[in-house]
Amino acid sequence: MKFIALIVIVLAIIAVAQLTRIYELTSKLRNRNETDVDYRDNKLNANLLLLFGIGMFVSYIWMIARYGAGGNSVAASVEGVDYDWLFAVNLVLISVIFFVTNGLLFYFAWKYHARPGAKAFYYTHNTRWELAWTAAPAAVLSVIIVMGLVQWKDRTGAAGENAVVLELYSKQFDWAVRYAGQDNQLGKFDYKLINTDNPLGLATSATIAARVDELKAEIEALEIRINDKNVVYSVNALNEMKNNLATKERLYVRLLQLQENHDPAWDAAALDDIVQPANIKLVLKKGQEYDMYFRAQDVIHSAFFPHFRAQINTVPGMVTRLKFTPSITTREMREKMKDDNFNYILLCNKICGASHSNMKLTVEVLEEAEYDAWWAEQVATKTFGNN
Ligand SMILES: [Cu+2]
């Protein structure tokens, strides 16, 4: 099918080229220069331009009617309703300006096409008009930007007292979730502590000690290999091992500093955190405000919750945050959309590598009672901090 379409396109291009050639030859036969433009050509072009303009308006209206003016579902968060309102204001404004300016553009091009004997009116400029069409858009844009900033401040500003804290940890190519536990406080972390037992690098006296031991063992093993007189290494292999050793030794010094500066009183906040490894799901409670913190391990990702109308970049080396309040449970949304398989999702919205398109997490919004049951189960089966 695609191949046939391609052939049709190629043939159409050849046909147009041939037609142009024929046109040039007939012009020559009629002793007429093909670069001459006469009244008939102008009129034809003016009519075609008007037709194109009308076609563009019709397709715009058709697309809005067919696909809707914005998102593909109702907003599923309290804040999303405000977002949709702002989006609608923008769309109405843009549409009105689009129809007025483009309507005039195509109409004038049609009405004032060149005619025999008609001479163009020479008009250089009008300061008053130029001022007007610079100031008016600037004023309108300022209003839109301020309205956007007000919403941005609301979405990223301080969360309410009862907001539940959680963390989303992004890396190529998945999302892990950390719930703050009973104290609603996320424990400290440090990237140097990341290993298979501690994928989010949580900092407790135990994880730091374990990592110090682990790194010490790695350094010793590497030293033994480098000094092994029974093996002859190539210069490259030896250099690589030495570089690797130097890196590990630097890291070791930093870890000892971390250990020295760590206050064991901080452990409690981390020990009750519930860490869920990548690709499980994010479970939220309806009507609960969430204060979400985001981290990235490798490159910049972007946390995008399309149904909650929320998005924020996740950046290596810094913590970003966002808040929203889910207002519709997954079950209610399935009924609304008449789709039993519907699920809310968290997507990565920053092209972050080869498998970027797979980087998503299911989000489930539950009623309070269901959520409490789920939460009790998580607390009972949690592994981090219990060993
Ligand atoms: Cu990503």
Q: Compute the Cα dihedral for 75, 78, 80, 82 and give only its sign.
A: positive
Q: pLDDT for 267-278, tens place per residue?
A: 889 888 898 888
Distance 55 CA to ligand 1 centre (A): 39
Distance 71 CA to ligand 1 centre (A): 22
Instruction: Give start-end residues of each CATH 2.60.40.420 domain in the chain.
Output: 163-186+273-387
Distance 175 CA to ligand 1 centre (A): 9
Distance 176 CA to ligand 1 centre (A): 12
Distance 275 CA to ligand 1 centre (A): 20
In the predicted structure, residue 89 carries a pLDDT above the cut 50: yes
CA separation for the pair 341, 118 (Å, rounded): 66
Distance 346 CA to ligand 1 centre (A): 11
> Which of 116, 260, 237, 253 is CA-nearest to residue 192?
253
Q: Would you call the peptide bond into 99 cis, given omega within 30 degrees of 0 as the criterion?
A: no
CB 252 within 8 A of CB 215: yes
Give 158-221 as a DSSP string.
PPPTTPEEEEEEEETTEEEEEE-TTTT-PPPB-GGG-BTTBTT-B--HHHHHHHHHHHHHHHHH
Distance 110 CA to ligand 1 centre (A): 49
> Letter for the amino acid at 357?
S
Distance 357 CA to ligand 1 centre (A): 8
Q: pLDDT for 4-33, tens place per residue?
A: 999 999 999 999 999 988 888 887 787 776
Read off φ and ψ for residue 183, nearest 5 degrees.
-80, -5
pLDDT for position 347? 95
pLDDT for position 64? 87
How confident is residue 34, by pLDDT bands cut at 50, 70 and 90? low
Rounded percentage of the chain residues whose pLDDT exceeds 70: 97
Distance 295 CA to ligand 1 centre (A): 12
Q: pLDDT for 124-154, tens place per residue?
A: 889 999 999 999 999 999 999 999 999 999 9
Distance 319 CA to ligand 1 centre (A): 16
Distance 354 CA to ligand 1 centre (A): 10
Distance 300 CA to ligand 1 centre (A): 7
Read off φ and ψ for residue 60, nearest 5 degrees.
-60, -50
Residues in the chain: 387
CB 333 within 8 A of CB 76: yes
What CATH number belongs to 163-186+273-387? 2.60.40.420
Distance 323 CA to ligand 1 centre (A): 20
Q: Convert 224-260 to b/e letters by CB count within 10 Å (16 or more is b).
A: eeeeeeeeeeeeeeeeeeeeebeeeeeebeebeebee
Q: Across the chain, where does the E strand assignment appear?
A: 164-171, 174-179, 274-276, 282-285, 290-296, 301-305, 310-314, 320-324, 344-348, 360-366
Distance 170 CA to ligand 1 centre (A): 7
Distance 303 CA to ligand 1 centre (A): 8
Query: DSSP assignment, residue 287?
Result: T
Answering whether pTM is above 0.85, one says no
**SS3 assignment, position 106:** helix
Q: pLDDT for 52-87, tens place per residue?
A: 999 999 999 998 888 877 656 789 999 999 999 998
Distance 81 CA to ligand 1 centre (A): 27
Cβ neighbours of residue 306 under 8 Å, at least 6 residues apart?
71, 345, 347
